[in-house]
Amino acid sequence: MAGLLSGDGLVTILFATAGCLWGILGGALPGISPSIAMALLLPFTYGMEPIPAIVLLASVYVGAEYGGSIPAILIRTPGTNASAATTLDGYEMARQGKGGEALGISLVSGLVGGLFGLVVLVLATEPLARLALAFTPAAYFALAVLGLSVIASLSGKSLMKGLVAAALGLMIATVGTDPVSGVPRFTFESAELLGGIRPILVMVGLFAVAEMLVQIGEPPWAKAEAGDTRLELPGLAMMRRLLPAQAIGCGIGTFEGVTPGAGGTIAAFMAYNEARRWSRNKDAFGKGAPEGVAAPEAANNVVTATALVPLLSLGIPGSNSAAILLGGFMVHGLTPGPLLFERAPEVVWGLYGGLLAANIAMLLLGLVILTPALWLVNRPKPYLLAAILCLIVSGVFAIEQSLFDVALVLGFGVLGYLLRLAEVPVLPLVLGVVLGFMLESNYRRSLVISGGDHAVFVEDPIALTLLALAAALTAYSLWSEFRRKA
């Protein structure tokens, strides 16, 4: 924390707060992902000193991962990819008039996750970087399989419908440039589809637009009591109840953050799933369980810190957001990598200090922002729905100034509406879209390397362990599912 104690400490805190605020706002807007919120600020950092510039960008990441959960809870619209898992119980809580409590839990869990991640980053960067290096394509494939193993518990009533949804998601992930041969697949000669369909567009369509369509067809909701619209921080008893869920989130977030390419979305889904599995009252999940908010929120905020491990120590960005941060380092003539800690230790420590400041700022800003956010969702329904739809369309358009993206989102909205009518769960679909490319590209890459020999997946110790874990978890889910029904 040397950076904070120096003369520039105040400036660092200021930029951490500003970045965090921008991140919360960006994260809360559907369509503006954390990496886009960072990219929007990047040009302004060119003229700044290196430490404030990098702290500013990293704080946006911290703020955005938290901000995404605000609309996820209040209007069932994940502002970021990673907050999709929070919609499950967060929105249920909001519907029961416990929106303020859900927001408080997500804020505190986010803080717990952020601080835990920071401690891990400061203390364990070196050994964790070695773990990241040990991941071969076969291990990444196994990691994706492990991610898919949570489908069973995300499927709700019908496992068959969940599997159909997941298959649909995996199919959507095949659109774009083939990861091995480079042949354009299902692009219909359109340059717009060469890069594939980005998960954020699928999610905004399936959750936000579909929810709008459902709401439009229903009578106005009952107005929440004035008392419900106040933010409520969890008390001591609640904190004790949430601790196991948060701990699960922290553990999974650390692992997923450190391995490049996995990221916050998978961490959040897996944390939700594991929190449910190890909970004493499983049946409360999906019906507004506080633990169902705490686990994914802790996980995706741990990732904001641990995703920096491969970036700082190896110079390898594990996510889009980390890639933008890498750009921020490069602009200032700094190259993250093995030598960064020797050549520019003041920048590294400044960054750590800035992250601490950003996490504390998140708590304070969250307290200030949540009350007006709660007030906002209590406005008359027609105005609110129209405003949200405008926000979604303009947010999506702003990403790449592409009307094609807007059309995609609206199309996925209609798909989401139809799936709701058919009672097909959308979360497995989202998981398929998020994991599909990672699953396929690493599977095929492994086979190119092994010359077509599938033994590569059991010869790699990490891959074998993860695959065994996935098999065990799936078997356990199925067994407990059947036992519950019988």
State how far the Cα of 377 lies from the Cα of 147, in Å rounded to an integer. 33
Q: Does 195 interact with another protein (rule: CB under 8 A)? A: yes
Q: Interface mask (CB under 8 A) for another protein, residues 214-253, using x and -?
A: ----------------------------------------
State how far the Cα of 399 lies from the Cα of 405, in Å rounded to an integer. 9
The DSSP bridge partners found for residue 185 are: 176
Q: Does 174 interact with another protein (rule: CB under 8 A)? A: no
Q: How far is the CB of 56 from another protein (least distance, A)?
A: 13
Count Cβ atoms below 10 Å from residue 386 Cβ, excluding itself: 12
Residue placing its CB nearer to another protein in the complex, 183 or 236: 183
**Among 60, 299, 314, 388, which residue interacts with another protein (rule: CB under 8 A)?**
314
State how far the Cα of 462 lies from the Cα of 372, in Å rounded to an integer. 47
Q: Which residues contact 41 (CB under 8 A, 6 or more apart)?
A: 19, 22, 56, 57, 60
**Among 14, 40, 239, 367, which residue interacts with another protein (rule: CB under 8 A)?**
40
Stated as kind and residue range, the H or E segment containing 185 is strand 184-185
Q: Does 136 interact with another protein (rule: CB under 8 A)? A: yes
The DSSP bridge partners found for residue 184 are: 177
Residue placing its CB nearer to another protein in the complex, 285 or 437: 437
Q: How far is the CB of 135 from another protein (least distance, A)?
A: 7
Cα angle for residues 300, 306, 310 (degrees, 5° grid): 130
Q: Give the number of residues in contact with another protein, rule: CB under 8 A.
A: 63
Residue placing its CB nearer to another protein in the complex, 136 or 149: 136
State how far the Cα of 181 lies from the Cα of 83, in Å rounded to an integer. 33
Residue placing its CB nearer to another protein in the complex, 404 or 479: 404
Question: Interface residues for another protein in 101-130 (CB under 8 A)?
Answer: none
The residue type at 482:
F
State how far the Cα of 461 lies from the Cα of 89, in Å rounded to an integer. 36
Q: How far is the CB of 77 from another protein (least distance, A)?
A: 18
Question: Interface residues for another protein in 385-414 (CB under 8 A)?
Answer: 398-402, 404-405
The residue type at 458:
V
Q: Which residues are at the interface with another protein (CB under 8 A)?
A: 36, 39-43, 46, 132-137, 177-184, 187, 189-195, 260-261, 310, 314-318, 323-324, 326-328, 330-331, 335-340, 398-402, 404-405, 437, 441, 445, 448-449, 451
